[in-house]
Amino acid sequence: MTTSGGVSAILADEIVEKAFEEERLCDGCIIRKNPNSPHVLFVFCAIDVPFGAVPGGNNLFVAEKLDANIVILNDRKKIWYLEGIEGLGTDMHSTAARLAEIRNTLLQTGGIALTYGNSMGAFGACLYGALLNVDMVIAPGAQLLAPNPVGVFQHYAGKRIDIKSIMASSSAFFHLLVGECFLGDIIGCLLVMDLPNVYIQTVRNFEHSVTGYMQIRHNIIKIINKYIKITTYRKQKNLELDKEIGVFFINLVDSRDSGYIICNKYAALYIYTTEIMLKYKKGNHIKRLHKMIEISNNIENKVIKSYIYYYIAMIFYSFNNKTRYLQRIYNYAEKGFILNNTSLRISQFLSTFCYTQKWWEKCLYWSQMAIACRHGDMARHFYHNNLCYAEQVESLRQLGATGAARIVGEQYKIATLNRTLNRCIADYAALSEAVERCGNKDIR
């Protein structure tokens, strides 16, 4: 009996190993086959995934977890898949033709095809999902405005394609999820907002990396599997288009996190162009300041008004003689936070602003508010800078609580060490320096 059981176990292992094969057509195309599923999922990698690598390794897009054959795609040039995928095609259209062949090979009777991607990958998912007429496109952090003057992809010399026309002529359905504080994504979504096959959700106070929000709140794998079930049901029943949640689209945003700015194109455009003006130090800032104050007086929505107040503060902050406007900078930013008290962007700005002005009591307060906006339900702010930790430690030290500053600082160092990414190393170094300045002697 033992021998028989041992042989059965070995055979079972061999069957599982054969069931989930991985085929690498090239470094830009890795196929993970699932013979138990009739469906096909194309995953377009974001810009930070190395060519030839798999996003999430063996913990995310694996056939054992997803009810689909998975095709993982990557753009070596990192130009938003506009010039095709190396190894599959020399341009967008030849690549789409090759992907159609792969889909037809993997797709079985009763199966559906989906595309998924975030950031740069979201653009690829929308573009090729439209060209292939897949059944569903899931695109968090969709960067449809490519190139984007204030984004990573701002120096591309090629021609911008008419993504709206491509999506409009497709039978695919698109679910776009973007953060309200990353205006380039918002403007890109405004381009396609009126299309009947596009559903857009925004996350309040969140920037570009909404995939983190999606994972924390709902789990990406569960979302994709649920979309496979919903879309399969829709096709079987031949349901007509309906943007009701649960029929065609899944609700990815909790009610308390739902954004509003997508509903106010006028305000969104002014905020976006203000951001560009500030980034490149162009345009008439005085004239824009008066216009933004006028807009703030005519907007009733508190969250949108808070964004306007924040940019009014930033315009004042951009003036060469900003020392004349210190109180106005503070007041407008503070009013923005009062209207929108989960905003990490505003609380972090106020913490840093008070730190530079050596307003230590206020800095202590705002650094604590920024930390609160990073933690708990705000864990989605994982990718944001963490200067608030160093600023709180220094504020405590300056206010005489050296012992407390050192203890709190050491706790923060331990808590933030594991989550320190390359982009946050400088912030962690600032925290370490603040702790070192506390010395070893307790004052309180």
CB 219 within 8 A of CB 168: no
Tell me the pairing of strands 69-73 and 198-203: unpaired
Full 3-state SS string of 324-375: HHHHHHHHHHHHHHHHCCCCHHHHHHHHHHHHHHCCHHHHHHHHHHHHHHHC
pLDDT in tens, 138-162: 999 898 887 665 555 555 556 678 8
Residue 385, pLDDT > 70, answer no
Please give the structure tokens belonging to residue 314. Answer: 């930033």
What percent of the chain lies above the pLDDT cut of 90?
41
Lowest-confidence range among 114-123, 304-313, 424-433? 424-433
pLDDT in tens, 209-233: 788 888 878 888 999 999 999 888 8
> What's the pLDDT at 238?
76
Residue 249, pLDDT > 90, answer no
> What's the pLDDT at 113?
95
> What's the pLDDT at 13?
47
* Residue limits of CATH 3.40.50.1820 in the chain: 19-257
55-69 average pLDDT score: 82
Please give the structure tokens belonging to residue 421. Answer: 């990414």
Average pLDDT of the chain, as a whole number: 83
Helical pair 183-192 and 265-280, crossing angle rounded to 10 deg: 140
Residue type, 434: A
Q: Tell me the whole-structure pTM to 2 decimals.
A: 0.83
From CA 397, how far away is CA 403, in angstroms rounded?
8
365-387 average pLDDT score: 67
From CA 55, how far away is CA 195, in angstroms rounded?
30
> What's the pLDDT at 135?
92
C-alpha distances in Å from residue 215, one per residue of 252, 286, 300, 363, 414: 10, 42, 32, 32, 24
Give the single-character DSSP code of 59: S
Using a 10 angstrom Cβ sphere, with 0-12 exposed, 13-18 middle and 19 or more buried, the burial of residue 202 is buried
Residue 434 confidence class, pLDDT cut points 50, 70, 90: confident
> What superfamily does domain 19-257 belong to in CATH?
Alpha/Beta hydrolase fold, catalytic domain (3.40.50.1820)
H or E stretch including 9?
helix 2-19
Please give the structure tokens belonging to residue 237. Answer: 């029943």
Give the single-character DSSP code of 77: T
